[in-house]
Homo-oligomer: A and B are copies of this chain.
Amino acid sequence: MAKKIRVTVWGENVHEKTTKETQEIYPEGMHAAIAGFLNRQPDMEACTATLDQPEHGLTDELLAKTDVLTWWAHVAHGDVDDAVVEKVHRRVLGGMGIILLHSAHFSKIFVRLMGTTCQLKWREVAEREVLWVTRPGHEILQGIEDHFIIPHVEMYGEHFDIPEPDDTILISSFQGGEVFRSGCTWRRGAGKVFYFRPGHETYPIFHDKTVQKILVNAVRWARPAGAMAFGTSHKEMGWFLK
């Protein structure tokens, strides 16, 4: 337990260059904001990586030592190199945790992990979201009771085309009447996957203390407890020969 959890906070880093609201709310970028509150945890050590870096900042060396990867992306999913997606996918199956944030529902890595389209409805009118706890006692919800509210959000609505989650831990309602499974977990290979809906680029959602608490919990929940070996396809035990 003495070893810190090594988190890599990946950010698309496009709105940071193009969108005034994002620049005002997150002067150093959303990824830096997320890494910031994670680094205030005594048991975590977070760095950032972005799309515009070589290999999108996700070198083999960095991935190999990453315990948990968080992924925020929105307008540039198509610019992510398939070879990087392949490497990240393999690391998740091998044991690395991954946390997909908001519009990362359409990222190549999430779509590949799910095997579905991950499509959903959306509307952007800064409406109110109420997030209801549907699995009290879940590790990711430590310290969260009953529900919490984010006053201004982009709406995401069902049907959200995902495989049935292992655990649906948060369901949102929106002012407009829609619902959404906002906190969902899956295991894939030896890795743990958490999709978390909040986090739009034009609202200060990653400055919200409850959102931060959930992400801190999620990093702890997603850290690897073991590994899956690849290519272990041919083994003989041979008791039947005796």
Which residues of A come within 8 Å of B, CB atoms?
1, 93, 95, 112-117, 119-123, 125, 127-128, 130, 132-139, 141-144, 146, 157-161, 163-164, 166-168, 171-179, 181, 186-191, 224-241
Contacts and interface: CB of A to CB of B under 8 A. Distances in A.
A158 B143 contact: no
A125 B113 CA distance: 34
A127 B179 contact: no
Top 10 closest pairs, chain A to chain B, by CB: A137-B190, A175-B240, A137-B226, A115-B115, A139-B225, A136-B228, A176-B240, A173-B173, A132-B158, A113-B115
Contacts of A158: 132-134, 171
Given A228-B136, A232-B146, A232-B159, A179 B172 contact: yes
A102 to B, nearest CB: 15
Given A115-B115, A115-B188, A176 B236 contact: yes
